[in-house]
Structure 1
Amino acid sequence: MCPDGLVSVAVAPYREFTMKKLDSRSVVVLARDRDDFDLKVLSSMLGSRGIELQIADPLDLAIQCEGPEIRMWNNDSPVRPGLVIGWRSGPSALHAIKQLDAIEQAGIDVLNSAVVLLRGLSPFLKSVTLQTNSVPHYPIISGKAPSGVLSMADRVGYPMVARPLMTRDLDARAAVRGQDIVFEDASSLKEFVTGKAASGHFYMQLRPPRTGQRLRVFCVNHHPVACLPDVPDERQSDPLATLSEPAAHVAGLASRAIGGHPSMVEISEDRPGSRNWRVEDVTVCPGPDPDLSRAGLHETVMRAQARFLAARLAEGPKARGGWRPSSAAHG
């Protein structure tokens, strides 16, 4: 046994050995808000399965690395979690990213890794990841040189939207869209990129037409478990009633590309009735959604997440490929 939160460092070949030294009934979540509503619900659901969920503020988590060993303390208490999860950490997000990278390098199983959280914080990186993984998405441009940006915009088309390269938190959809700057034509874009406003902290994207149907798809282990239309009903007896197979396929592709557990994928038709779905955005660890609660689906998403985490603790990383919502319907 390893004393005082001691865990042997293990690169890939020794991962299974390392996992045996950890507490397979313990999960540590790196989150700034100890009163996070989703985590309270998740903690209760996991507790009924005999699994302890600890919330660690990234600023309160101490890590010591020395030779082939790593030790961790949460508020001066040693921890040896079988699973560590990156979560919404607000201003501490970049600190959490560094810790998650160190923890994963030590051979401890991590969900929402440093790379996943970095993508979640960067609308630009999310868009690049979707594009390079062949997920249907709207074209993007990033740059500062006016001639290059304007030339690329002419090829992509208008209207264009400028957005920040980075956000302060994972669940920042409203904040990002509140900063949208729309360019209807080349002259308005030229004024922006040649002025002081374009300081290099923006990227540009073809603005979605917003004429067809729009959906929010909530995924656990990259499988849809609930879906809300743009104007949701008060109650939904079937969590996936509004989700067609083509839409579910695109949402699953997007969730898998970004890698969030859980994730919320916003998709839209390029025109009414086309069934040609494109991804507008992917949110890693979405915050509590009032529409989801009004539709009676919040517990559905949390219960699926609890089942997946229980499977992940029991089976390790291989659960990522094999767990599906239907396989845990009665778990």
Structure 2
Amino acid sequence: MADTDTPLIVLLGNDDDDDDHRVLFDGIRRSGGQPRRVHPDELVTEATAEGTRFLVGGRDLAPDLMFGWVYEDYLILGMNQLETARLAGIPVVNSAMTLLRGQSKYLNSALLHRAKVPHLPVLWGRDENTLAVWTAERGYPMVTKPLMSSRGRGMHRLTDEASVRDHVRTLGPGPEQYYVQPYVPARHRDTRVLCVNHRAVAAVERVAPQGTWISNAPGNTRHRADLTLELRAIAEQAAEAMDALFAGVDIAQDEHTGELCVYEVNTCPTCTATFRELGAEPVPLAELASFLVAAARDFDGARRDWRPSATF
């Protein structure tokens, strides 16, 4: 382990979100920690009856805390490594199960509904007739999403029974399933609330690009949003339901009823580019850095007592 006055914090991830990692690492250093990124392919693990060792480049790696930032292609490998670290007694922020919950829209929905977080009804499976009956009973339009995706990839609106049946027939072989929920008339926008240690620290409104209804699609525009008490409450409840110590909670407001609902919770949310576009410092990453250093020194104490020093 590193000197407890300068705890070693290892981010497990690749360089896809390099801008966010650089900002986070600067914040960790300012908060008194030593950051290091380790790619899942670099990490070697030895498990024996005497204990578990982690090595990078043939040298022992002894982190005071591991922070999981893995998704898509590296999700399963990273989950195994993070869970092994947790079993070896290393504190882990955004654990293996948290990251799986954040990637899987199925688990997102199951957990949000279980915790009574306002969320849309969903149906997932492969049976065509069941989906056709369900959508007809609830009314159109509907939205379908891939099990694991980001930035609006693979989302479609289903407008009638024919489009529902066509969608089911496009599913590939194997375990691919549909995931369908009602369309929310939200003026083609949503609000992402960033949370650290289950506490809201920033809110950004996202507006869909011209010609599309998908608010998180590439080319969207972003604006600072007021972090109202209602937004704060629903976001914090959602982050806690996922046990996500760093989370981006996507929330829509129905333009007809005014009601808020959570679309989903992202457990590897990027924010540096957004905040630069808004001409502001990435407050969520500064707060995350502060929390990670505190958690590396006293994990249980930080989870219990840490509070953000600033909000956006």
Bin for the TM-score computed over the shorter chain:
0.7 to 0.9
Count matched residues: 294
Determine the C-alpha separation between the residues in 1 that align with 2:31 and 2:306. Answer: 17
In the TM superposition, 1:7-18 aligns within 5 A as none
CA distance in 2 between partners of 1:143 and 1:212 (Å): 27
User: How far off its partner does 1:181 sit?
Assistant: 2.3
1:226 positional shift: 1.1
Picking from 288, 291, 296, the partner of 1:308 is 291
**Paired residue type of 1:183:** L
* Farther-moved stretch of structure 1 (298-307 vs 58-67): 298-307
Instruction: Deviation per CA, 1:69-90: give whole Å up to 9, x if none.
Output: 1111122221111111110455
Q: Aligned Cα RMSD in Å? A: 2.6
Percent identity, aligned pairs only, is: 29
**Greater relative contact order (Cα 8 A, min sep 6): structure 1 or 2?**
2
Match of 1:197 among 150, 171, 185: 171
1:4 corresponds to which residue? none
CA distance in 2, matches of 1:166, 1:68: 38
Alpha-carbon distance between aligned partners in 2 of 1:294 and 1:242, rounded to the nearest angstrom: 17
- Match of 2:199? 223
Matched, 1:87 2:69: yes
Structure 1 residues 50 and 242: CA distance shift in structure 2, 3 A: closer
- Corresponding residue of 1:270: 254
2-side partners of 1:43 and 1:141: how far apart?
40
- Looking at structure 1, the residues matched to 307 and 227 of structure 2 have their Cα atoms a distance apart, in angstroms, of 17
What is the TM-score normalised by the length of structure 1?
A: 0.80
Deviating runs (4+, > 4 A) in structure 1? 231-236
Q: Does 1:31 align with 2:31?
A: no
Question: Are the aligned partners of 2:20 and 2:270 in contact in 1 as well (CA < 8 Å)?
Answer: yes
- Distance apart, 1:212 and its partner CA: 8.5
Change beyond 3 A, Cα 1:289–1:182: farther
Residue 23 and residue 128 in structure 1: after superposition, are their counterparts in 2 closer, same or farther (change >3 A)? farther
Cα distance 1:293–1:71, how it changes in 2: closer, same or farther (>3 A)? same
Work out which of the residue numbers 171, 178, 185 in structure 1 matches 2:160: 185
**1:187-212: CA deviation from partner (whole Å, max 9, x where unpaired):** 3213333x243653331111222248
Distance in 1 (alpha carbons) for counterparts of 2:80 and 2:262: 29
Question: Which has the larger share of helix?
Answer: 1
1:116 to partner: Cα distance: 1.0
Q: Within 5 Å, which residues of 2 pair with 1:50-69?
A: 50-69=32-51
CA distances 1:47-99 after superposition (whole Å, capped 9, x unpaired): 23331111110111111111141111122221111111110455222211111
Taking structure 2 as the reference length, the TM-score comes to 0.85
Residues 1:129 and 1:76: Cα distance change in structure 2 (over 3 Å): same
Amino acid at match of 2:195: C
Question: What letter corresponds to residue 197 of structure 1 in structure 2?
Answer: L
Q: Supply the distance in 2 between the matched residues of 1:226 and 1:133 (Cα, whole angstroms).
A: 22
* Alpha-carbon distance, 1:304 to partner: 0.8
Encode CA deviations 1:122-163: one digit per residue, 9 max, x unaligned.
Answer: 222222221222111111101112222223333443222221
